[in-house]
Structure 1
Amino acid sequence: MPSSRKRPKPKTRYQRFLEKLRREKRDGKGRPLVLSEGDSWFAFPKELRPSTMDILDRKLDMILMRLETNGDELSAMLSGKQRRRLQYYLGKWDFNLLLFSGGGNDIVGDRLFPLLNTVSSNDPWEAVINKEAMHAAFTLIEFYYRDLIQIRDDLRPECDIITHCYDYPIPNVNGKVKCLNQGLLGPWIYPALAARGLIDSAGQRSFARWLIGQHREVLKKIAGEYPHFHLIDTPGTLADNEWGDEIHPTKGGFEKIADKFIIEIKRHFPVVES
């Protein structure tokens, strides 16, 4: 007869975090205390492929508390319940590192439509950019990153922040992903460009590179002002065949992004072993 015993519930992120704290207290190896917050580049659905943080959690010996959520925008991460949660952890434990991923969802998907002009086939691809709207969008992204730094400075000023600036996606009408509980998702860039009249694939790709470049420039500016804010220069890391859908890497692509994080983490904490 089949056993009637119930399987134990999977441990929560918080339970795993506390276990690692207890292990460090026992053996005193000097593992860094790391907090992570972010979007789907940190929290891609596990049934599809491991994301950056899944890989880092596997490869590095660190005391990790994970807060990231698939699909999060900066406004969600830095307001309301999620903001209070971030403040709680930074205030309660002496974190050495805050790994962060954000800004992509603020400028793609439904957010992208109002940032674009309607163009004709004779217009250069640059004409699709609504400069005033784009400036406002990236000003808001910059505001939220500076707000993140202020939260860190208020609660844990010695904690280093490490973030990244994605990579150059390839707009693609077929760049969808099928999630078990959400059905088909995406694409996130192609629909807005096509709806606004930019249907040339080379022009769409040039626009995507420009969009990521603007995000990168915002973060480079901030990194130049704050010594404890570190930007990993990820654009150009992925080959064309290392995109699993329109805006997310394949498993191998996520491995390459994670490897860049490992190099940066080890630069600050050489005791971390993979």
Structure 2
Amino acid sequence: MSGGGNDVLGDEFQFFLREVPDPADATPKRYLNEKFFDTMATLSSQYDDMFTELLDRYKDLHIMVHCYDFIIPVDTENPANKKKQSWSGKHMIAKKIGPQDEREKLIHFILDEFARRLTDLVSKPKFKGKVTFVDTRGLVDRNTWFDEIHPTNPGFQLVGDKFIREIEQVRKQVDF
């Protein structure tokens, strides 16, 4: 199951950013408003409903769900990146979030939060042994991105290899 990426890093991303960072918070969370956390809660609920319905309907089904790797937001202020597509970097720059490493820390926070929620969901007793979380964070290195959110073919290969390893683990545990 692959989902939530557009909800988190797509066009909606711009609406998750506060106008002014929370001065009482020194973490990357200071840039995010409640809409982000509401969206995370909605996604968790939708995943829960979907997993429940699928597993009720198909008793032998095993679901694999993943998070996303740490994208590298395009630094649109850098002239070298003038022609690169940006989904998140441009919005962070518009909100004066910088420098680039600060923007990357925010992306890490967001994707760690998404992964944490998926991990919490998969650990529910009703999904034990039926749903596997595939952690794809940290697989694609800085030089293996095609654009801001899509890896190159070698980057996708790294993600695919991770899925193959997880599928093999599940096969060992389940008699197919």
- How much has 1:229 moved relative to structure 2? 0.7
Larger RCO (CA within 8 A; separation ≥ 6): 2
Select 1:193's aligned residue among 92, 95, 100: 92
Structure 1 residue 155 displacement after superposition: 1.2
Task: Select 2:102's aligned residue among 177, 188, 203.
Answer: 203
Does residue 103 of structure 1 match 2:103? Answer: no
Contact 2:19–2:95 at 8 Å: present in 1 too?
Answer: yes
C-alpha deviations, 1:21-74, integer Å up to 9, x for none?
Answer: xxxxxxxxxxxxxxxxxxxxxxxxxxxxxxxxxxxxxxxxxxxxxxxxxxxxxx
1:117 counterpart (15, 18, 23):
18
1:112 partner SS: helix
Deviation at 1:176, TM superposition (A): 6.8
Match of 2:136 among 210, 234, 253: 234
Tell whether 2:26 aligns with 1:127: no
RMSD (Å), alpha carbons: 2.1
Partner-residue secondary structure (3-state), 1:249: coil
Give the counterpart letter for 2:96 in structure 1: G
Q: How does 1:36-55 map to 2 (within 5 A)?
A: none
Larger radius of gyration: 1
Kindly report structure 1 stretches of 4+ aligned residues shifted beyond 6 Å: none
Count matched residues: 161
Structure 2 letter corresponding to 1:210? F
For residues 70-126 of structure 1, give each alpha carbon's deviation from its aligned partner in whole angstroms, at most 9, with x where no partner exists: xxxxxxxxxxxxxxxxxxxxxxxxxxxxxx111110012320111111237x99654
Residue from 147, 158, 162 that aligns with 1:245: 147
Q: Does 1:153 align with 2:55?
A: yes
| Inter-partner Cα distance in structure 1 for 2:122 and 2:171 | 19
Q: CA deviation at 1:257?
A: 0.4
After TM superposition, the score normalised by the length of structure 1 is 0.55
Given the two structures, how large is their TM-score scaled by the length of structure 2?
A: 0.83
Amino acid at match of 1:241: N
Tell me how far 1:199 sits from its aligned partner: 3.2
Q: Give 1:175 deviation, angstroms.
A: 8.9
After superposition, what is the alpha-carbon deviation per residue over 1:225-253, rounded to whole angstroms, capped at 9, x for unaligned? Answer: 11111001111111111111101111001
In structure 1, which of residues 193, 209, 214 is the aligned counterpart of residue 113 of structure 2?
214
Q: What's the counterpart of residue 159 of structure 2?
A: 257
Aligned pairs for 1:157-168 within 5 A = 157-168=59-70
Partner letter of residue 269 of structure 1?
A: R
CA distance in 2, matches of 1:118, 1:203: 16
**C-alpha separation between the residues in 2 aligned to 1:223 and 1:176?**
40
Counterpart residue number, 2:43: 141
Contact 2:29 2:109 in 1 (8 A): no
User: CA distance change for structure 1 residues 176 and 112 in 2, over 3 Å: closer, same or farther?
Assistant: farther
- Residue 48 of structure 1 corresponds to which residue in structure 2? none
**Conserved 8 A contact 2:14-2:88:** no
Contact kept? 2:144, 2:155, Cα under 8 Å: yes
Q: Extract unaligned runs of 5+ from structure 1.
A: 1-99, 178-185
Provide Cα deviations, 1:104-163, integer angstroms capped at 9, x if missing partner: 10012320111111237x996543111x22210100110111121022123102200012
Distance in 1 (alpha carbons) for counterparts of 2:82 and 2:162 = 25
SS of equivalent to 1:217? helix
